[in-house]
């Protein structure tokens, strides 16, 4: 499944880009994030609880970030294991464009879900993923604004 959306943030590009690399901000922003530990500069592990319709899944996730093309592009790939509930594989490309109002983030999320989650929640995955992505940027914005204002 591929998801493409954009969000406008009233902050400059460098600030936004740094925040995307900041485990503290990420932890506050990821919906259902219970734990997030930085393993090294580019790797993190996280525990994220997500509800897809009737199935509540706790993902043990490994996330790798690629800031090498920053601040114009932030890349992320990840793998989540929710045991008997299923698995998720995916990634996101976030393009950061500076404009008069701050920064426009255009993101493309690519995600494959397998297992019981896909079976039971198949028809809910797209909606849930969209909702989670929006929620992420809402949280991200408030975390950033709290920090920078």
Give the interface with another protein as residue ranges (CB under 8 A): 83-87, 112-116, 118-120, 122-123
The minimum distance between CB 45 and another protein, in angstroms, equals 16
Query: Rounded to whole angstroms, how far apart are CA atoms 62 and 140?
Result: 20
Which residue, 23 or 53, is less far from another protein as judged by CB? 53
Tokens of 86: 């299923």
Tokens of 87: 């698995």
Query: Rounded to whole angstroms, how far apart are CA atoms 40 and 64?
Result: 10
Cα 26 to chain centroid, rounded: 8
Which residue, 10 or 127, is less far from another protein as judged by CB? 127
The minimum distance between CB 83 and another protein, in angstroms, equals 6
The minimum distance between CB 13 and another protein, in angstroms, equals 36
């Amino acid at each position: 499944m591929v998801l493409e959306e954009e969000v406008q943030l009233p902050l400059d590009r460098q600030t936004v880009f740094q925040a995307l690399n900041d485990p503290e901000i990420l932890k506050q922003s990821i919906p259902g994030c219970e734990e997030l530990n930085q393993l090294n500069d580019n790797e993190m592990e996280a525990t994220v609880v997500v509800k897809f319709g009737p199935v509540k899944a706790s993902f043990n996730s490994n996330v790798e970030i690629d800031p090498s093309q920053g601040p114009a592009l932030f890349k992320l790939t990840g793998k989540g294991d929710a045991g008997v509930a299923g698995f998720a594989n995916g990634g996101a490309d976030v393009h950061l464009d500076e404009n008069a109002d701050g920064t426009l983030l255009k993101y493309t999320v690519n995600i494959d879900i397998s297992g019981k989650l896909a079976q039971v929640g198949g028809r809910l995955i797209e909606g849930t993923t969209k909702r989670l992505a929006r929620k992420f940027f809402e949280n991200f914005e408030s975390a950033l604004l709290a920090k920078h204002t």
